[in-house]
Amino acid sequence: MASKQIIWTDRAKAEFYHILEFYIDRNKSTTFSEKLLSEVEELTFLLKSNEFIGRLTSDNTVRVFPVRHFLLFYAIRKESIYIVSFWDNRQNDTKKSYK
């Protein structure tokens, strides 16, 4: 199977960026955010050739894969994999705690 291109949606990029920034600010260090970034990069590399590794969501067009206490949501298309959301499971879903 050929490797697919990974494309982050604007929403997913913004969510991930805000999470990284939140932990940098909270921890007064980049260490945790750097580790998380590295883990997500490894996962996206793995997704390129193992796209069905995540479980289907109730949407049936989106899959989800856990990364620590985060969830990476993605959709598989013919030639690409779209990262559609990156969610911190500890955040309040009615008010983003990392803005």
Tell how far CA 64 is from the center of its chain.
9
Q: Quick one: DSSP state of residue 4? A: P
Antiparallel, parallel or unpaired: β 5-8 and 55-56: unpaired
Residues in CB range of 73: below 8 A, 6 or more apart? 12, 57, 62, 63, 64, 83, 84, 85, 86, 87
Strand order in the sheet with 63-67: 5-8, 80-88, 70-76, 63-67, 55-56
Residue 96 clears pLDDT 60, i.e. is over it: no
Alpha helices (H) in 1-99, listed in sequence order: 10-27, 31-49
Q: What is the pLDDT of residue 90?
A: 82
Tens of pLDDT, residue by residue over 7-44, are 999 999 999 999 999 999 999 999 999 999 999 999 99
**The pLDDT value given to residue 91:** 74
| H or E element, residue 70 | strand 70-76
Q: Is the pLDDT of residue 98 over 70?
A: no
Q: What is the pLDDT of residues 49-93, one digit of tens each?
A: 899 999 999 999 999 999 999 999 999 999 999 999 999 988 766
